[in-house]
């Protein structure tokens, strides 16, 4: 598909600087731009590439100021990052192949209900009492156990397992290897040193517009539900334990884990390898830096924490400066100890 700068600017409600009739048929990173591609510039760290790139069209923020001439046609928008996301979504929607129908190599239980225009690939297993919404897509080797409900326009990629009684909302995306509703990690220590399993009788509820990255796992509740609220985005390799409640529009990066019965607020942002202990609350708008370990509840909204144990980011930064100086501080302390010892010896002699 080809688009002119004029068409793109009209779609994004942007303004053009340059030739409105130039055409693009592909996308590229700004440092790899070539003729016929569209790039975007949102991070100032990449500003230098805009002067050398061979890209035909570049999306930039309205407040971008060029320090020297730019050969590409610019389209100024409010937010270049959001604009390119909108454009990519439009492009994907209009280029992807329409998929409907049920493969003869899939198994669909007699009591399952499959919505209009749904697509089910080969070797998918759909259990008894399952309900699948309109336009849902389930790719190869998926296992949807009994009484699961999947909403309209959901996309379930290959190798996903959804255990019994779980609920997946509308417009959700589950990437390959995701496991929804496996048993929570519940065991009781006994007098003889062994552990007795606590039956996990609850389920997982995933609300609308949630995306879950590859090989992430969300455990079923012991009782009640583990809940992933509307608009949540989970990266690959994220672990959500039993009875956790993740607030609306929270984003969690890869290799993070949240222990049982913790409740996070809405609009939180957790970077990679964050760990949160169980039975805590995390306030709305909390941001946690990479590898942060949270051992106690965070009650103040819209704060940034980092480190293990987690502390406000300002304290963490000041502590980091001190940490880097520890070898020099140790040498200073050793020298001071020697001087004190010498002074004490002189005093005792006198």
Residues labelled as active-site residues = 242
Range 134-162 burial, b when 16+ CB lie within 10 A, else e:
ebbbbbbbbbbbebbbbbbbbbbbebbbb
Residues 6+ apart with CB under 8 A from 107: 124, 125, 126
Angle 63-66-70 from CA coordinates, rounded to 5°: 125
- CA dist., res. 243 & res. 258, Å (int): 10
Rounded Cα distance, 342 and 344, in Å: 5
Q: Which residues contact 291 (CB under 8 A, 6 or more apart)?
A: 271, 272, 273, 274, 308
Q: Is 240 helix (H, G, I), strand (E, B) or coil?
A: strand
> Under a CB-based contact definition with an 8 Å cutoff, are residues 172 and 208 in contact?
yes
Spatial distance between the Cα atoms of 221 and 196, rounded to a whole number of angstroms: 17
DSSP label at 32?
G
Q: Which residue has the tokens 């819209």?
A: 302
């Amino acid at each position: 598909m080809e688009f002119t700068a004029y068409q793109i600017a009209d779609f994004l409600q942007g303004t053009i600087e340059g030739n409105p009739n130039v055409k693009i048929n592909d996308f590229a990173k700004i440092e790899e731009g070539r003729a016929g591609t569209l790039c975007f510039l949102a991070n100032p760290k990449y500003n230098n590439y805009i002067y050398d790139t061979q890209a035909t069209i570049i999306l930039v923020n309205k407040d971008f100021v060029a320090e020297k001439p730019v050969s590409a046609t610019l389209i100024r928008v409010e937010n270049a990052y959001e604009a390119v996301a909108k454009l990519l979504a439009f492009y994907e929607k209009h280029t992807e192949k329409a998929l409907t129908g049920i493969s003869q190599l899939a198994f669909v239980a007699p009591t399952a209900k499959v919505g209009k225009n749904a697509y089910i690939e080969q070797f998918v297993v759909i259990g008894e009492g399952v309900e699948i919404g309109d336009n849902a897509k389930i790719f190869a080797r998926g296992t949807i156990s009994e009484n699961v409900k999947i909403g309209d326009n959901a996309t379930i990629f290959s190798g996903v397992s959804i255990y019994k009684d779980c609920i997946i909302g509308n417009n959700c995306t589950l990437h390959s290897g995701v496991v929804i509703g496996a048993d929570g990690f519940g065991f009781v220590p006994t007098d003889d040193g062994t552990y007795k399993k606590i039956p996990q009788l609850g389920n997982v509820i995933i609300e609308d517009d949630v995306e879950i990255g590859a090989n992430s796992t969300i455990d079923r509740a012991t009782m009640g539900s583990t809940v992933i609220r509307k608009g949540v985005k989970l990266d690959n390799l994220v672990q959500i334990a039993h009875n956790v409640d993740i607030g609306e529009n929270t984003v969690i990066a890869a290799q993070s884990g949240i222990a049982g019965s913790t409740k996070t607020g809405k609009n939180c942002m957790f970077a990679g390898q964050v760990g949160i202990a169980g039975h805590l609350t995390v306030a709305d708008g909390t941001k946690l830096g990479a590898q942060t370990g949270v051992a106690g509840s965070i009650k103040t909204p819209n704060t940034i924490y980092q480190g293990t144990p987690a502390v406000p980011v300002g304290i963490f930064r000041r502590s980091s400066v001190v940490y880097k100086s520890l070898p020099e501080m140790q040498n200073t302390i050793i020298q001071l100890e020697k001087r004190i010892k010498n002074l004490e010896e002189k005093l005792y002699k006198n």
